[in-house]
Amino acid sequence: MKITGISIHQPVGLFRLLTDEGLEGWCTGVEAAFSQHCLDQMASVVIDQNPFNRERLWQELLRVDRENYTTLRGYIDIAIWDLMAKSIGIPVYRFINGFRDRVPVYKRGQIGLLPDQVIEEALQVKDEGYLGYKVSMHGRIERVVGLIGDLREAVGPDFHLIFDGRGQFIVADAIKVGRALDKMNFYWFEQPRPMNDTNGGKQVADNIDTPITVEVTTPLEASQVMSIQSADHIRTGMPYSGGFTDVLKIARCTEAFGAFCHLDGPGVCHGFAHLHLLGAVKNAPFFEVTQTFTMSPIIKNPWRIKAGYIHLPECPGLGVDIDWNMVNDQTTQVIKS
């Protein structure tokens, strides 16, 4: 099998990797601004190539990506994995390394809420059947610390809680928040310091028990964070860190240190890509749903949350069922190579 071309439907954001055997690899949610860049800079790397030389193609895409268009590489890589899994008739997560067929889900809260609104939202999320809630709140440190205790009391001891610092705490305040999280058994403390502040992050991590999580975008960054222990866990996601290949490398690096690799939001492909990764990787504990997430109307089989879990699709590849009538109706431009 050889890749013969690329078609990108806009504004619906459907990326299609075409082959000489009629099979296609897909990636949905492709941003229009990247479409032409993708073809101009990277299409020549994959056309006329065997998709099963996936690692070689990834290395070559990395070599030609001189402008650091990681997102573009991510779209192509996801479509390649979809294509390979389809060609042998199994879901992507089983093709990678099947671990589980359902994944637990928590919900990320809104930013900028008052303490009472945070508690109200968390209780609503719990009532909706989610297994956890991520809160982000800033202001006077006493107010933040007070919310942490009140929130735990409101939702009970067995509901997973995560605190997102969004990189806005000074070291001393981050430690105060972290110690409050310790007492209230929060699952992790995300981004207490700005990205790449390894010194500050290590100070916080060394002074609290709640695991610290920081964002990384490459396997090298993951190895550096883990090696110097400037955080306990890492967070990443597709496509801003690349595709399956990139994030799997990050997750495996993190796993070698006995740490979690958290996935940031639903990600590209309207959540399908992150779901398959969670189905294949043990050390990625949750699927994160955001308040603003909406499923594309071109997808006929949106995933559903039942009792706090999402069951993974068992159809080949990503398992996305495309409504081609909707795609054709909404497409105003097809960019081809």
Indicate whether 160 belongs to any domain. Answer: yes
Task: State the DSSP code for 271.
Answer: G
- pLDDT of amino acid 84: 97
* Same domain, yes or no: 282 and 146: yes
* Same domain, yes or no: 241 and 105: yes
- pLDDT of amino acid 195: 82
* Same domain, yes or no: 12 and 48: yes
Indicate whether 332 belongs to any domain. Answer: no
Q: Which of 139, 196, 141, 188 is nearest to 167 (CA)?
A: 196
pLDDT in tens, the chain (337 residues): 999 999 999 999 999 999 999 999 999 999 887 767 767 778 889 999 999 999 999 999 988 876 667 888 899 999 999 999 999 999 999 999 999 999 999 999 998 889 999 999 999 999 999 999 999 887 789 999 999 999 999 999 999 999 999 999 999 999 999 999 999 999 999 999 988 888 899 999 999 999 999 999 999 999 999 999 999 999 999 999 999 999 999 999 999 999 999 999 999 999 999 999 999 999 999 999 998 888 999 999 999 999 999 999 999 999 999 999 999 999 999 988 8
* Same domain, yes or no: 144 and 120: yes
- pLDDT of amino acid 104: 97
Q: Token pair for residue 142? A: 């006493």
Task: State the DSSP code for 91.
Answer: B
Indicate whether 132 belongs to any domain. Answer: yes
DSSP-based helix, strand, coil % in the chain, nearest 5: 45, 20, 40
Q: Which of 62, 109, 2 is nearest to 243 (CA)?
A: 62
End position of a domain, from candidates 88, 104, 131: 88
Q: Number of folded domains in the chain?
A: 2
- pLDDT of amino acid 70: 84
* Same domain, yes or no: 252 and 165: yes
Residues 6+ apart with CB under 8 A from 128: 107
* Same domain, yes or no: 63 and 83: yes
* Same domain, yes or no: 213 and 175: yes
Q: Which of 2, 32, 37, 71 is nearest to 334 (CA)?
A: 32
Indicate whether 328 belongs to any domain. Answer: no
End position of a domain, from candidates 53, 88, 123: 88
Residues 6+ apart with CB under 8 A from 265: 108, 237, 274, 288, 289, 290, 293
Which structural domain range is residue 65 located in? 3-88
Indicate whether 41 belongs to any domain. Answer: yes
Indicate whether 320 belongs to any domain. Answer: no
* Same domain, yes or no: 151 and 61: no
Half-sphere exposure of 285 (CA within 13 A, CB side): 14
- pLDDT of amino acid 62: 87
* Same domain, yes or no: 64 and 132: no
Return the CATH number at 270.
3.20.20.120
- pLDDT of amino acid 297: 92
- pLDDT of amino acid 314: 94
Q: Which of 105, 99, 137, 131 is nearest to 119 (CA)?
A: 137
CA dihedral 310, 261, 132, 92 (to 10 degrees): 0
* Same domain, yes or no: 255 and 303: yes
Indicate whether 273 belongs to any domain. Answer: yes
Return the CATH number at 46.
3.30.390.10
* Same domain, yes or no: 154 and 59: no
> Apex CA 155: angle with CA 153 and CA 157, to 5°?
70
* Same domain, yes or no: 67 and 144: no
pTM above 0.75, yes or no: yes
Give, for 10, the enclosing helix (H) or strand (E): strand 3-10
248 vs 32: CA distance, rounded Å: 26
End position of a domain, from candidates 65, 88, 111: 88
State the amino acid at position 147 in one-letter form: L
Indicate whether 319 belongs to any domain. Answer: no
294 vs 289: CA distance, rounded Å: 10
